[in-house]
Structure 1
Amino acid sequence: MWLPKKAEFINIKGQSLSMRYTVGSKLHLTRALLFSVFISLLYTTASQAQYRRDPIINLENFDLDRVHWGYFLGFNQYDFKFDYEDSFADVQVAKSTGFNVGLIGDLRINDYLNLRLEPGLYYTQRSLYFPGFVEERDYFREVKSTYVHIPLLLKVSTKRLNNFKPFLVGGVSTSINLSSNETNPNDNTGGVFRMKRNTYYYELGFGIDFYLMYFKFSPSIRGVFALNDELVRDQNPNSLWTGNINGMYTRGVFVNFTFE
């Protein structure tokens, strides 16, 4: 099979891929800008309340509860990190923004430490472009994933400052990919990209707790990094899709808004 050079391959894909990246970048930039404006408004409101002569303290005894519950909504952006046998290969990944929804269980350890379980459903989509092919049915794979994501996290908070409290969070997690195709008998020769069903991660992030009149609202940003290789290789060990890949690891960013 004729193998074009990397530059030729990019030209073959042409304007379509360029437009995907351009539109995607604008959408991601818009969401990031809106999120920044939102956080700035919340911070300004909290700061004004903090420096009043007699600030109103919302939910004054909230953190004294041993256990409390909540839920979260948010956005995600998943990516892949590839390790190769030969460094010249380059699978290109076009990312998109997905959504998250889940529940929260929080166990108070002391004034500064909380143990959290945050099971949720995460939907995302990634598009893969493989070098060495001319036809779209060969070089393009759309990877849609629905994860049941279960993290166990340690939340480390500062001292509460009137109605807000910054925190760091980190821990480990596992996920079940409900659309992995791991047991599908077809592989890339039949147009099917396969991944392992179970993945393990470590996670790191930060956020701010805002104590409102009736509930606690907490925006946060978290990075997730897979620990195990997720690729299910094609049956042919010399496959042009998977033969040169040593490992494929998910990494991603979560922006969550929690309500407790």
Structure 2
Amino acid sequence: MAFTHIWNQLYLYRQKITLAGLLALALLGSHTASAQQKIRVMNKPEYDYRPVHYGFYLSVPLTRYNVQHSQAYADQLADGNDDAVNAKSDLGFYTGLVLNVRLAEYLDARFVPGVGFYGRTLVFSNVETTSLETEPSMKETVSNTMIELPLLLKYKSKRRSNFRPYLVAGIKASLDLGKGNNGKTQEEIALQVDDYDLALEYGIGLDIFYPYFKFAPELRFSHGLVNVHKPVSGSTYSGYIQKLTNHNVSLIFFFE
């Protein structure tokens, strides 16, 4: 009986129910179309066709020395000594400008000069000092203010809406403008490095297009190609090192 009553009520108001249903479908369809239109709107659609564009970047690198030990280090280990020389990772900071030149549809050349501030540390354990006293552990940090001149190629994928992943690779030349040993005297210096460096760089990033600019987070790896170690006469610390190269892992934020 109750079911019959409900059916009769629906039959009496079928026109109103049908109209309300059609109105709801129309509103839902309008909302979906509007959402799809927003998704399909491409910010800065002509951006990729510019022959040249500019920008700037900020970066936080995790930096360290890669240590190749000397024969003297291997000999003392063979003699049963436990002297050790190990690298420690440190955070740095660098910033600079972007000059991007379009070479082809999916290929750009990028010159991204900047200035970097680094402090790379070696930890020496159980090494005799110049006073012939053995210290359990000592850190030697070399601070650098570097002018960096990366020249890179950027290979871009096809743009999808407002996103586009890319790969980047190239070389970076660097020049140290600071006093790498913080003004220490020659007798106090346990570690010295060259003022010049050359590194191989490669990484991956994602271009994100906004209405007024392009933002791109990038993860880049840098491997030094040059031995920056300068032997220090009379230093046991320096004698244990055959080769030092700079290595960075950087998170970079581009604004173009």
Q: TM-score, normalised by structure 1?
A: 0.73
Structure 1 residues 31-58: Cα deviation after superposition (integer angstroms, max 9, x where no partner): xxxxxxxxxxxxxxxxxxxxx5321100
> Paired residue for 1:43?
none
> Paired residue for 1:259?
255
2:70 is the alignment partner of 1:76: no
SS of equivalent residue, structure 1 residue 63: helix
SS of equivalent residue, structure 2 residue 122: strand
Range moving further from structure 2, 167-176 or 87-96: 87-96
2:162 is the alignment partner of 1:201: no
Are the counterparts in 2 of residues 128 and 140 from structure 1 also a CA contact under 8 Å?
A: yes
Are the counterparts in 1 of residues 43 and 210 from structure 2 also a CA contact under 8 Å?
A: yes
Which AA in structure 2 matches 1:206?
A: I
Cα shift at 1:242: 1.2
Are the counterparts in 1 of residues 142 and 180 from structure 2 also a CA contact under 8 Å?
A: no
Which AA in structure 1 matches 2:101?
A: L
How many residue pairs were aligned?
204
Which one of the candidate residues 233, 243, 249 is aligned to 2:245?
Answer: 249
Cα shift at 1:94: 2.5
Q: Which runs of 4+ in 1 moved over 4 A?
A: none
Distance 2:70 2:92 in 1: 31
2:124 is the alignment partner of 1:107: no
Cα shift at 1:180: 4.9
Evaluate the alpha carbon distance shift between residue 122 and residue 253 of structure 1 in structure 2; reply closer, same or farther with a 3 A threshold: same
Distance 1:140 1:223 in 2: 25
> Paired residue for 1:232?
230
Cα shift at 1:215: 0.2
Evaluate the alpha carbon distance shift between residue 127 and residue 181 of structure 1 in structure 2; reply closer, same or farther with a 3 A threshold: closer
Structure with greater strand percent: 2
Are the counterparts in 2 of residues 180 and 197 from structure 1 also a CA contact under 8 Å?
A: no
Are the counterparts in 2 of residues 113 and 157 from structure 1 also a CA contact under 8 Å?
A: yes
Cα shift at 1:64: 0.4
Which AA in structure 1 matches 2:151?
A: L
Distance 1:175 1:251 in 2: 13
Supply the RMSD in Å over aligned alpha carbons: 2.0
Cα shift at 1:152: 0.2
Q: Please tell me whether Structure 1 or Structure 2 has the larger radius of gyration of its CA atoms.
A: 2
Any unmatched runs of 5+ in structure 2?
1-34, 78-82, 129-133
